Chain A
Amino acid sequence: MLLRVKRDTTGSLAALDPADEADLIERCRADDRTAHDEFYHRFRRQVAGNLYRVLGDRTDLDDLVQEVFVIAFRGLERFRGDARLSTWLYRICVNVALGRIRTRKRRPNAVGMTDLDSAPADPSLTERPETPDRSLERRRDQESVYRALEELAPKKRIVLYLHEIEGLDLKEIAYLVDSNPVTVRTRLFYARREFYKIIAGDAALAGDEPAGAGEGDDA
């Protein structure tokens, strides 16, 4: 049975049916340049979107997209077809993102870690009729989430992201991070505890209720 991640990750293009997918893979393996082009054209937005959402910023995003496709083209020979192509690509994205997170941990940016504020091309923020205040608030909340993610160990961060934000189940996450569901469950347990503890201490998220409001602080 093919493993398929629930999320529709095919971007703007229609999803390939399994027969077309197998044909595309075969043509890519035969070094057909038009097949390579089609592969790239079909999956480029999905790959960029996955990386962008996992990492929360677009610094060097084009380099990372390049890395994913280079790995994919190299690895197509060994692709056994036990998952959908899009899922397999998602797995490569996760691994590339993991590598990136590890590098960033060693060499953190001196300035802000996310650039969600400086992403004017993000249509998700412009398509909705939001007030500027609400839009700003939403961006701040997203920044807080990524800031908290940034404090987690890379492996914990990935499983937490895939579970809490992408909504994937343990089996799917286990395939994506090349682990087993029991390990993922343990990792997720500690990741969630750590993540929400950081969130609870984040004053930037305290806008809804001023500190000390209400009666009887600290039961």
Chain B
Amino acid sequence: MSAHVAPHRWADLWAGRVGTAERALMERHAAACGSCRRTRARVQRASDSFTAIRDQKAPDLAWDSVRARVHWSVSTERRAKVPPPRRWPWPAWAAFAAATAGAVTLALVTGPISLGRDADEAPVLSNAAIHAPSPARAEAPAAAALVGLVNRTTGDVLVDGVRPAEPFARRIVAGNTLVTGDGGVDVQFGEASAFALGPRSRLELRRFDAQAIELVVEGTLDVQVAARAKDQRFTVIAGDRVVEVRGTQFRVQHDASATSVACRHGLVEIGRADRTPRIAVAAAKRVTLGPDERVVPLTPDELAALADATPLSLPMWNPDVFEHGSAPLEIATAGRREIRVDGVELGTGPMRVRVMPGRHTVEAADNAGRFRRAGWVDVAAPTKDVRPARLEIPAEAPPTRDLTARRRQFAGNLDRARLAACTRSAAKQGLTGAYVQLEITVDAQGAVNALNIVDTDLPKLTRGCVLDAIRDTLRFQRGAAATWRERVEL
């Protein structure tokens, strides 16, 4: 054999895929050829290490944290697919009407009706609810106190008249009063149970325990609550009206002029403290309380608005992990932008939102309403030393004209040789195909008012060199003022 042995043939030889005659030839050649001997030794050492690689065990990870994140992702997707409101078939309506009539008659004869006491089949509300360490009320028998956790804030929120430094670490308990400014606040108090207080609203948690929840509202309150367990009462008090809830999602608006209740799904009943006959508001219906208390269907726009106002409720796989393992993420936007995190629309930013630790993709809507990727952010597990994660989303560049001329001037002035000198060191380390994305503002005189790198995959040192190289060579002629983004492949 005069030609060298192809390296992969040595691997074939170790694997027994070479015949005896060829094997003898290969060995004979290697005996006389130092290069092939070296190749044989290297291939053998590489092949020997395959076994060690194959036997490697998985390193230990933060398994619980990964599990929580998996659960969060899967559940969030599931929750995003909310089914449309279901229309009841007419026999159900007839049965409901008969039951209501019977109940009203019974109430007139025997006194107050306790709704929900006969709901034997109802699943337990917030079986994963967060309970405070000690009962908040001294009444006997003392029911376990509930605790709410802030999931999302926009704008100012006052708790008992004070702006909390860390609203996400603050436990919302019975007796607290929440007041919002132009924004709102979402509070979760169990699995699939949360409320969102709208702008310029006030909410008092008069009672907040496993037996009863009583919320007194002035302004707008959206509630989504899991099905109640036996002996649990959930009421929203709006003026002299009491809205009693089964598992449902609904909105109560109450101000000096009017009170209205709209129900997205489930069923709510509205009564008075004097126990006059109740009004039932079913899915996709609303009622404005006053002289003419007719229950009317919601329009598609009203239903959509109600869906958009769904309180943010995160999966509560484990209440302890939820409370101590989740962390706030601050999304700062220039101006008001619609925000999406991990594909879930969260409303209008700027906002702070509770997320599980890990990497999250944030998108912001542009002027046309299309969501654009704004970046990703790593959120660490909450500790005292770690500052809350923050992502700043810059303002959209205003639309400008005559960009083509400006782009041409930019491309014509780039000094490629100097840029290559900047990236040479990185290229030697294997970082090729890098890029910088610049934001440039040029005025009508051709002066560069702003030149910033908004995105790149270059290391810090190289980034500075590249920016200097571009800044030194950038020249524009008189023309239209423009602000635009330019991506330079390096």
Contacts and interface: CB of A to CB of B under 8 A. Distances in A.
Interface string A194-219: 01110110100111110111111111
Interface string A169-199: 0000000000000000000000011011101
A53 B53 contact: yes
Contacts of A36: 71, 74
Contacts, number: 164
Interface string A50-67: 001100101001110110
A200 B43 CA distance: 6
A19 interface: no
Nearest to A144: B46
B33 A218 contact: yes
Contacts of A212: 34
A16 B400 CA distance: 63
Contacts of A106: 433
Nearest to B1: A219
B227 to A, nearest CB: 16
Given A69-B70, A217-B34, A218-B33, A48 B50 contact: no
A144 B42 CA distance: 10
Contact of A218 (B35, B62, B67, B432): B35
B70 A202 contact: no
A197 B6 CA distance: 8
Interface string A21-56: 000000000000100110010001111110011001
B349 to A, nearest CB: 25
Interface in B34-78: 34-39, 41-50, 52-63, 65-67, 69-71, 73-74, 77
Given A63-B359, A145-B50, A208 B59 contact: no
Interface stretch (B7-15, B165-173, B304-312): B7-15
Given A108-B431, A148-B46, A216-B33, A122 B56 contact: yes
A167 B54 contact: yes
B11 A196 contact: yes
A208 B54 contact: no
A165 B53 CA distance: 7
B134 interface: no
Contacts of A164: 11, 47, 50
Interface residues of B, number: 58
Contacts of B71: 36
B42 A205 contact: yes
B358 to A, nearest CB: 7
Interface in A104-125: 106-108, 110, 119, 121-124
Interface residues of A, number: 65
Contacts of A102: none
A141 interface: yes
A76 to B, nearest CB: 10
A1 interface: no
B56 A110 contact: no
A138 interface: yes
Contacts of A218: 33-35
B404 interface: no
A99 interface: no
A208 to B, nearest CB: 4
Nearest to B29: A219
Contacts of B45: 141, 144, 205, 207-208
Contacts of A166: 54
B369 interface: no
Nearest to B128: A33
B20 interface: no
Nearest to A111: B429
Contacts of B69: 66
The majority secondary structure among interface residues of chain A is helix
A29 to B, nearest CB: 13
A11 interface: yes
Contacts of A37: 67
A141 B431 CA distance: 24
A4 interface: no
A53 B33 CA distance: 35
A142 interface: yes
Contacts of B431: 108, 110
A161 B45 CA distance: 16
A216 to B, nearest CB: 5
B66 A66 contact: yes
A217 B65 contact: no
Contact of A53 (B2, B42, B56, B457): B56
Given A48-B61, A119-B59, A53 B46 contact: no
A70 interface: yes
Contacts of A193: 6-8
Nearest to B74: A73
A110 B459 contact: yes
A205 B46 CA distance: 8
A145 B53 CA distance: 9
A74 B71 CA distance: 11
A204 to B, nearest CB: 9
A53 B2 CA distance: 39
B358 A66 contact: yes
A83 to B, nearest CB: 21
A11 B56 CA distance: 11
Nearest to B15: A164
Contact of B37 (A58, A144, A209): A209
Interface string A137-172: 010011011001000000000000000111100000
30 contacts: A36-B74, A44-B63, A45-B57, A46-B58, A47-B58, A52-B56, A52-B58, A53-B56, A56-B53, A62-B62, A62-B358, A70-B70, A106-B433, A110-B459, A124-B57, A138-B49, A138-B52, A141-B45, A141-B46, A141-B52, A145-B46, A164-B11, A192-B11, A196-B7, A196-B8, A199-B7, A200-B39, A206-B42, A214-B34, A216-B32
Interface of A: 11, 33, 36-37, 40, 44-49, 52-53, 56, 58, 61-63, 65-66, 69-70, 73-74, 106-108, 110, 119, 121-124, 138, 141-142, 144-145, 148, 164-167, 192-193, 195-197, 199-200, 202, 205-209, 211-219
**A-B pairs with the 8 shortest C-beta distances?**
A49-B58, A48-B58, A196-B7, A217-B34, A141-B49, A205-B42, A200-B7, A219-B33
Interface of B: 2, 4, 6-8, 10-11, 29, 32-39, 41-50, 52-63, 65-67, 69-71, 73-74, 77, 317, 358-359, 426, 429-433, 457, 459
